[in-house]
Amino acid sequence: MLIKKFQRYFLNLPKLKSMTAKEKCKQGLLYNASHDEELINERKTCKSLCQQFNQTQYSESEERVQLIKKILNKTKNNFLIEQSFWCDYGYNIEIGENFYSNHNLVILDCAEVKFGDNVFIGPNCSFYTANHPINIKQRNAGLEYAQPITIGNNVWLGGNVTVLPGVTIGDNTVIGAGSVVTKDIPNNVIAVGNPCKILKEIIE
């Protein structure tokens, strides 16, 4: 098994060398975000728009909506994102209908982050797709990899919740305040804690 794994790696080595950092990122491979000009420029563009959004007068609601539509890949008709809001690229983020996030939302969207309809997010919540190697040399060299996050429909996340790379949260689920979600959470449950664990099932 291990021999076959190494054989596949060396067979793919020429292809890996020809891939851009962005292409490697999309495939969940190790890539260098710190020294790649394409990714650096995309982050600069996105964060400049986030800064503009955060500094817009609160009364200028239509201007704030238009800025969010410029930042994010996909939105629906009804949403409200309170200031401040920060993300890395924006083009990896999709939000559903009737989306609401309270102040200080942070989304590190190196990979896709998708929110369903009727998602409510408390203040100071964070969604991290970026991950770093355990290997010291790789980490110090600036290498990282990314895993997507998916949030279902009718999900409520309390304040100060952190969702880590690769996590899926199912429909109709509530995540208690202060939770750190390290693994998938199914539909129709209340989950809380660090690490976040199922507290009870939601029964209508």
Inter-residue contact 19 to 38 (CB < 8 Å) = no
Single pTM value for the model: 0.90
Inter-residue contact 12 to 30 (CB < 8 Å) = no
| Angle (nearest 5°) at CA 167 between 29 and 164 | 80
Tens digit of pLDDT per residue, the chain (204 long)? 556 544 554 555 556 667 999 999 999 999 998 889 999 999 999 999 999 999 999 999 999 999 999 999 999 999 999 999 999 999 999 999 999 999 999 999 999 999 999 999 999 999 999 999 999 999 999 999 999 999 999 999 999 999 999 999 999 999 999 999 999 999 999 999 999 999 999 987
Please give the pLDDT value at position 55.
Answer: 97
Please identify which of the residues 26, 114, 132, 197 carries the catalytic annotation: 132
Inter-residue contact 177 to 164 (CB < 8 Å) = no
What residues does each domain of the chain span?
21-201
How far apart, in whole angstroms, are the C-alpha atoms of residue 178 and residue 80? 22
CATH topology of domain 21-201: UDP N-Acetylglucosamine Acyltransferase; domain 1 (2.160.10)
Q: Is 132 a catalytic residue?
A: yes
How far apart, in whole angstroms, are the C-alpha atoms of residue 193 and residue 154? 20
